Amino acid sequence: MNKIKSYASKSANQPLEPYQLDRREPNETDVEIKILFCGVCHSDIHTVRDEWGGTMYPVVPGHEIVGTVTRIGSKVNRFKVGDTVGVGCFVDSCGHCHNCEENNEQYCENGHSQTYNSLLQDKKTITYGGYSSHIVVTEKFVLSISDKLPLEKVAPLLCAGITTYSPLKHWNVKAGDKLAVVGLGGLGHMAVKIAVSMGVEVTVLSHSPGKEKDALNLGAHHFELTNVKENMVKMANTFDFIIDTVSAPHDYNDYLALLSTNGVMILLGVPPTPSEVQAFHLIGGRRSLVGSLVGGIKETQEMLDYCAEHNITSDVEMINIDQINEAYERTLAGDVHYRFVIDMASLK
Ligand code: NAP
Ligand code: ZN
């Protein structure tokens, strides 16, 4: 075991604070990574505050990790010491169920191991995430990162990037399709950038008037406020697809009504409480309400390579680790442009 530095929360109502963590020694298939940057996802906040239930304290969040390989096990052959690598939302899975065999480890039928607040495949060892100096991950779940793009802006691709790329590919959202992105935050701004790069016509639906200029600068073609009733009425039956990234409870029915015939609304945001859906909104117009969870490892590598090729990165605000509690408050207030990223060199 190695004793390393991290930031953890010890209960739902306590701030994050310095915490000494035990990391395993790398075994023969493991890669040890010195973490350079870690993005701050809203899922970190839901988990730290136990909004979804089931948080195991102390919890060390963080699943948008970019770093440098410091040690490798004897059987590791895809990476060497000094390589730049990434780790996303999960760090292992059973490897033999139908979904793992199809490269959809995030839907592992035997339960995938998330990067934090989860159990490794021994179903005993708790995982701890990227708000820490190092992480040890089995080779198969480590991603290659191009040195072409600024690494701090690449970190959010490991969750916000793949979570928005994967459904765009799965539902074959293509050039000319009309897509609404609901919520312009970490996920939302990546959905805009990636969809625009694919030639999709993108409208941002936001409850924050101050974000219009940013939305258009990010490449969105239109911006509409959702809290103005006439806007919602005027957009009825408009969109082929809606990507909903909102983290707080909201009424799905208001958005389903904006889908055209056969339109698909894709839930990415996970509000802590359920929402009722009126069947008429689905039946009238043969609409679908679906969801999507991050993306598999193969697809995450494909997304990273796509973003390197198309020069797509996240808009980030850099923070030191001791500003993390303030960053959570600002994220909750919608005051982030558009992803906080922790400079892990500040973890002393
Ligand atoms: P974020 O940066 O905080 O963005 C969420 C956005 O939701 C805000 O920017 C805001 O956009 C909108 N919003 C927030 N509160 C609202 C309210 N009360 N009413 C209406 N809109 C509100 O969060 P994120 O990191 O993008 O994560 C978004 C959600 O996705 C979270 O629930 C997270 O847990 C989930 N998530 C899911 C997956 C997955 O695999 N499906 C992966 C990662 C994260 P406007 O100001 O533009 O309205
Ligand atoms: Zn995330």
d(CA 165, CA 252): 22
Q: Residue 215 belongs to what domain range?
A: 161-291
* CATH code, domain carrying 261: 3.40.50.720
Give, using CA atoms, the residue closest to atom 9 of ligand 1.
Answer: 185
Task: Decide: helix, strand or coil at residue 275.
Answer: coil
* CATH code, domain carrying 321: 3.90.180.10
Does one domain contain both 13 and 152? yes
CA 276, 280, 281, 282 dihedral sign is: positive
pLDDT 10s digits, 152-165? 999 999 999 999 99
Does one domain contain both 200 and 239? yes
Residue 148 has pLDDT above 90, yes or no: no
d(CA 313, CA 74): 34
Q: Are 281 and 256 in contact (CB under 8 A)?
A: yes
Does one domain contain both 269 and 332? no
pLDDT 10s digits, 66-106? 999 999 999 999 999 999 999 999 999 999 999 999 999 99
DSSP of 292-319: --S--HHHHHHHHHHHHHHT----EEEE
pLDDT 10s digits, 225-252? 999 999 999 999 999 999 999 999 999 9
Q: How many domains does the chain have?
A: 2
**pLDDT value of position 36:** 98
pTM over the 0.75 mark: yes
Residue 259 has pLDDT above 90, yes or no: yes
Does one domain contain both 265 and 319? no
Q: Is residue 224 part of a domain?
A: yes
Q: Is residue 296 part of a domain?
A: no
Does one domain contain both 110 and 218? no
Q: Is residue 300 part of a domain?
A: no
Does one domain contain both 236 and 330? no
Does one domain contain both 149 and 198? no
d(CA 315, CA 341): 10
Q: Which residues surround ligand 2, an ion (CB under 5 A)?
A: 41, 43, 159
Does one domain contain both 8 and 133? yes
Residue 278 has pLDDT above 90, yes or no: yes
Could you tell me how many residues make up the chain? 348
Does one domain contain both 141 and 17? yes
Residue 281 has pLDDT above 90, yes or no: yes
User: Residue 133 C-alpha to ligand 1 middle, in angstroms?
Assistant: 27
Which ligand sits closest to the CA of 181? 1
Q: Is residue 309 part of a domain?
A: no
User: Residue 44 C-alpha to ligand 1 middle, in angstroms?
Assistant: 12
Q: State the residue for tokens 């179903």.
A: 123
Does one domain contain both 284 and 318? no
Ligand 1 pocket member 205 (CB < 6 A): no
Average confidence (pLDDT) over 280-299: 97
Does one domain contain both 26 and 74? yes
DSSP class of 50:
T
Does one domain contain both 226 and 147? no
Ligand 1 pocket member 161 (CB < 6 A): no
d(CA 344, CA 325): 15
d(CA 121, CA 104): 16
